[in-house]
Chain A
C-alpha cells in the first residue's frame, strides 16, 4: 500500500474541513436561541430537528420525538484511545454519562458518501448546537479514526483545530476527535461496534461501511445509521427521544 506523508494527510484534512465548513455555511438555522434555554430543553415543544433544513435526499419527515422506542442493541466497547492532546484514555471514560454520536472515519477519505458525509453531518449538528445551549451537558460528538497509521495525534489535532479554536465552542457540543496508538488498539473498538474496515486494496482507499452509532448515557448502542439515515434531523430526533426516555426513567 502506498504511504502518504503527514503533510499530505493534514492538507487533505484541512481541505476536507474547509469543504465541510463551506457546506455548513450555506444555511442559517432559524432563530430558536432565545427560546431554548437549558430549562426549556425538557419542555420545548419545538423538536430539535427543526433547527436543520430538510435535505431532498431524505424524502420523509423525522418522527415525533418520544413517539417510538430506541432498542438497546448492545454495549459499546471500551478501549484505549488518544485525544488531540496526545493523552491516552479509555473510550468509556470519554462517554462521561453523556449521549454520544460516534462515527468512525479517516481523514483522507475521498468518497463523498463516506467519511465526508459523516463529517459534514456532525459539523451541522455541532454548529447548530449553539442554539441548544443546555445540550452540551448531556450530548456530545465523537469521531474515531480507523487509520491510526496516517491519522496521528498531530494529524487529528490539525484536523480538529477549527472546531477546538472556535470562539463559540463553549456553547456547542463537545466533539472528541480521537485516534489510537496502532491497529492493535483499534481492533476491539471496530469489532465491538461492528464497524467493517477492509484494507485489502492496493491504493490509499480504505474500504469501509459508513456507519454512525448512537450511544446512551449507560454506554449502550441504541441505534446504528447507514446511508439513507445519516440526516441531522433524524439523528437529533433520536437524541431527543433518548433524552425524553431517560428523563422519564
Chain B
C-alpha cells in the first residue's frame, strides 16, 4: 500500500529523482495519512514551554531553519508566543499537513497553527478553549494523531479527580468537537477482552494506527495530579507512584471500539508502528520499568504483547521517553531522560532487539526526531516543566546530529535558555515544497 497521501507528489518525486534511489527526508513515525516531505526537511517546529522570568515567559512555536545553504541554517528564524504558559507538550499535523495542532497539558487549550501559508513563519489559526467541556471532562490533551478529516487526541486525565482515567477525543479538521471515546476500565470494558489478567485502568498517553490491519493502539501514563507535581516530590510519594498506567489497549480503528487490554506495567509511553508492508507489530517503552515492549500479531492472527529487551539498567530508572523507528524498520532510537542518553537498537528481528550504540546527548534528553533517510537526528530536552532537572542539570536545547552509520556527529546546537526561549519539547519537520505558493 502506498502510504504517501499526496498522490501527485509521489509521481512528481519519481520524475525528479530519476536515479535508482529515492531519498526521503521526512520525520518517521508520523500518521500514514499525512503527505511526506520528499526532499530535505526545511524547518523544524519546536513547541516550547515558557519559563517564568525568561523572555516573554510564554509558550511559543519556535521555527528553526534547516534549509541547506541558507545563511540562517541552524538558527531560530521565527517565534510565535501564544499568551501565557499552558504546559506546552505534544502536537501533530492534520492529515492535509496544513495545520499543526498542539496542546497544553495544564490549561487544556489547543492551539492550531497554520503552517502552509508561510512555512517559515507559522501563524496561529485557531485556539480551542473548550476541550474539557466539549469532551465531557477529559483533561490534558496529549497526542494529536491525524485521520482523514479529523484529529484524534489522547487525554491524560479527567476533571473529576485529576487522575489517570481518561479518553480519546475526536475533532473535525475545522476544530469542531466530534466525539469522546473513554478508555476501557475494569468496570466498563466496552466489549474489550483483558489479556493475561490485565486490569484495565482507563489511562491514556499515546496513539498510533496500522491502517492496513484496522488497528489502533493506545498507551498509558499518569494524571494531572502527578504530571503537574514536582518530580522529586512525586518520587517520594508512595501513593502518587501508584497512579501510573500499566496497560495498552488495542482498538478497532474504524469503529473506535476497544478490543484488547494488555498488561504493560510501568507506564508505556510512545507507540510506534514500522512502515513495512508485512510489519504487523509496534514498539513501546515503559518509563518506570525501562523495558522495550513489542505488541504484535501472532501466527494465529491474534495480537499479543511482550517485553523484548531492557533499556539500560532498569534498577537505575533511566526513564525511557521518546522513540523513533527508522524508515527501513531496522533500527530504533530510544531516549532516556534521566541519564540523558540515546540508544540505538537493532530491531531487524523485532522479537529479539539488541542495543548497538549509545551516546550521551546531555544531562537530560527527551524527544527524538529522525529524517526519513535516517541521516539526520534531532533531539530536544524538556519532559515536563515540573519534571525537568534542576539547577545546572536543567539544560534546554535543540541539537542536530548526522548519523554516519556508526556515530552521531553534532551538526548544530541551539541553547534555548541562552536564547530566552524556554524549554524545548516536541519537534516536527516542515517544508514549503508541500504547498504551492
Chain A residues at the B interface, C-beta cutoff of 8 Å: 57-60, 62-63, 67-69, 71-74, 109-111, 113-114, 194, 196, 198-201, 203, 205-211, 213, 221, 223-229, 234
- A196 to nearest B CB, angstroms? 4
**Contacting pair B8 A227 (CB below 8 A):** no
Closest B residue, CB atoms, query A223: B149
A62 and B148 alpha carbons, distance in the complex (Å): 18
**Contacting pair A207 B254 (CB below 8 A):** no
Residues in B whose Cβ lies below 8 Å from that of A63: 252, 254-255
A194 and B99 alpha carbons, distance in the complex (Å): 12
Closest B residue, CB atoms, query A117: B7
Size band of the interface chain B makes with A: 35 or more
Of the listed stretches B131-139, B207-215, B234-242, chain A binds B207-215
The answer to whether B356 has its CB under 8 Å from any CB of chain A is: no
- B160 to nearest A CB, angstroms? 24
A225 and B12 alpha carbons, distance in the complex (Å): 23
**Contacting pair B435 A73 (CB below 8 A):** no
**Contacting pair A200 B1 (CB below 8 A):** no
Residues in A whose Cβ lies below 8 Å from that of B437: 200
Residues in B whose Cβ lies below 8 Å from that of A109: 7
**Contacting pair B11 A194 (CB below 8 A):** no
A59 and B210 alpha carbons, distance in the complex (Å): 10
Residues in B whose Cβ lies below 8 Å from that of A57: 1, 212
Residues in B whose Cβ lies below 8 Å from that of A208: 6-8
Closest B residue, CB atoms, query A74: B172
Please report the number of residue pairs spanning A and B whose Cβ atoms sit closer than 8 angstroms: 115
- A234 to nearest B CB, angstroms? 7
Residue in contact with A226 in the complex, picked from B8, B95, B213, B252, CB distance below 8 Å: B95
A-B contact pairs, 7 of them (CB 8 A): A62-B254, A71-B170, A196-B96, A200-B436, A205-B8, A209-B5, A209-B95
The answer to whether B363 has its CB under 8 Å from any CB of chain A is: no
Residues in A whose Cβ lies below 8 Å from that of B12: 201, 203, 205, 207
- A46 to nearest B CB, angstroms? 20
**Contacting pair A196 B98 (CB below 8 A):** yes
Residue in contact with A111 in the complex, picked from B7, B147, B254, CB distance below 8 Å: B7
**Contacting pair A114 B211 (CB below 8 A):** no
Interface centre among A67, A69, A207, A208 (most CB of B within 10 A): A207
Residue in contact with A209 in the complex, picked from B96, B170, B172, B178, CB distance below 8 Å: B96
**Contacting pair A224 B212 (CB below 8 A):** no
A62 and B176 alpha carbons, distance in the complex (Å): 28
A112 and B211 alpha carbons, distance in the complex (Å): 19
A201 and B11 alpha carbons, distance in the complex (Å): 11
